[in-house]
C-alpha cells in the first residue's frame, strides 16, 4: 500500500476562530467529497489530507462533553487576561491554548489509514511521547484518560499534552495541544480537562530550558510521519 500524502501547513500565530473556520472548511469539503464518492462512484475523486501546525493567542475552549463550571473566570476577568472563550465541537472538556504551545490539527481521511478512533488517539499520543523522549522526558498515558502525562506514579502527576478530536465519516479535525514554552499561569483559571487532582506542565518547565519551537516541530513531524507512514507534501 502506498504512503498517503499529507499536506503540511504551518499557520504560525493565528486567531482561534479564524483557524477553527479554516479547519471546518477543509473538514466539511472532505466529508462532502466522501458522500459524493459514495453516491456517484463513477466520478469518484480522492480526498486530501492535511496537517496544520499553529499557535493561538490566549483562548479557552470547551468541548461538547465539557462542564462550564470548569472555567473559573468570568468574561470581565478573561478580558483583563486578554483571553477569549469558545464552546466548540470536539470531544473532551475545557482546555487552554496560547503562545508557546504547539497546536497540531490533523485533518485526515482515516480510510487511508485505519478506521479505529482509539488507535488514532493512541497514535497521536505516541507521536508526542516519542518527541518528549528526544528531550529526555518520559511521557506516559493514564488509563481512561486521553493525553500525555509526566510522573504518573508520583504524588505530582503532570499533564503536558491535551488531545481532543472530532470525527465524522472517518474524517478528523481538532487535535493536539502540546505545552512547549507555554505560560502555565493561564491554566490556573480552569480545571484542565475537568481533572481536579493533576497539574499541568510544559517541556520548558520539565527540561529547565527554552525550547526552540522550529526544532521541536521537526522532531514531532518526523515521529508523526513515521507512525502514520505518510508522505509530507
Which residues are catalytically annotated? 193
Task: Tell me how far CA of residue 47 lies from CA of 4, 12, 74, in angstroms.
Answer: 10, 25, 42
DSSP secondary structure code for residue 109 in this structure: B
Q: What is d(CA 165, CA 25) in angstroms, rounded to the nearest whole number?
A: 16
Which three cell numbers, joined as nine digits, stand for 220? Answer: 514531532
Q: What is d(CA 182, CA 186) in angstroms, rounded to the nearest whole number?
A: 9
C-alpha gyration radius of the chain: 18
Amino acid at each position: 500500500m502506498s504512503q498517503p500524502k499529507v499536506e503540511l501547513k504551518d499557520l504560525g500565530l493565528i486567531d482561534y476562530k479564524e483557524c477553527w473556520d479554516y479547519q471546518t472548511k477543509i473538514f466539511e469539503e472532505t466529508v462532502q467529497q466522501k458522500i459524493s464518492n459514495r453516491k456517484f462512484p463513477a466520478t469518484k475523486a480522492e480526498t486530501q489530507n492535511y496537517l496544520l501546525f499553529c499557535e493561538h493567542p490566549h483562548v479557552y475552549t470547551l468541548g461538547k462533553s465539557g462542564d462550564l463550571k470548569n472555567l473559573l473566570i468570568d468574561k470581565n476577568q478573561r478580558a483583563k487576561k486578554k483571553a477569549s472563550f469558545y464552546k466548540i465541537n470536539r470531544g473532551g472538556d475545557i482546555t487552554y491554548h496560547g503562545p508557546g504551545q504547539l497546536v497540531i490539527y490533523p485533518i485526515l481521511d482515516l480510510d487511508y489509514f485505519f478506521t479505529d478512533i482509539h488507535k488514532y488517539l493512541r497514535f497521536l499520543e505516541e507521536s508526542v511521547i516519542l518527541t518528549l523522549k528526544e528531550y529526555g522526558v518520559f511521557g506516559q498515558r493514564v488509563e481512561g484518560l486521553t493525553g500525555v502525562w509526566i510522573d504518573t506514579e508520583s504524588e505530582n502527576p503532570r499533564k503536558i499534552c491535551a488531545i481532543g478530536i472530532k470525527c465524522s465519516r472517518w474524517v478528523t479535525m481538532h487535535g493536539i495541544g502540546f505545552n512547549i514554552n507555554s505560560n502555565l499561569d493561564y491554566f490556573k483559571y480552569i480545571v484542565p480537562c475537568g481533572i481536579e487532582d493533576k497539574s499541568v506542565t510544559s517541556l520548558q518547565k520539565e527540561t529547565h530550558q527554552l525550547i526552540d519551537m522550529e526544532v521541536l516541530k521537526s522532531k514531532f513531524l518526523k515521529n508523526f510521519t513515521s507512525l502514520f507512514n505518510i508522505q509530507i507534501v
